[in-house]
Amino acid sequence: MAATKGTLSKLQQDKIREAIQTTQLVKRLQFFALGQKDPAEVARVGDDKAQPVDLDAGRLKAIDMLIRKTLPDLSAVTISGDADQPLVHKVIREIVNTQPQIEHLEAPLVHKVVREGVNARPKD
């Protein structure tokens, strides 16, 4: 494998992340952690012959490194405030009418038409 000089471009980084099948790695780790059998192996050899997923230390380390490249590490996220201006969490709820306000526009027109219609009648 040839070594690259400098840093990778954003496009190259995205292509590498796409190539790493994160979901498959996470599923494999879950099967291992829960002592479950791999469904692909069960389908291939049958439930009675399939063994629970077993990962050696080298594979665990490789999976860990690949997952760190594709998923953000949430333990590294810190939200802190300033002593003078502390962070404040606000929940704002608004009631918004999504229906157009047609009745306000139509009422004067209807009133005017009715009044003109009444005035336009011939008197006996």
Give the start-to-end residue ranges of the domains of the chain: 10-75
Dihedral angle sign, alpha carbons of residues 20, 23, 26, 31: negative
Q: Which pTM was predicted?
A: 0.46
pLDDT for 6 equals: 72
Residues 92 and 53: their CA atoms lie apart, in Å, by: 48
Residues (pLDDT < 50) of the chain are 1, 106-107, 110-111, 113-114
* 3-class SS of residue 112: helix
Question: Which residues partner with 37 through β-bridges?
Answer: 52
**Token pair belonging to 15:** 């292509």
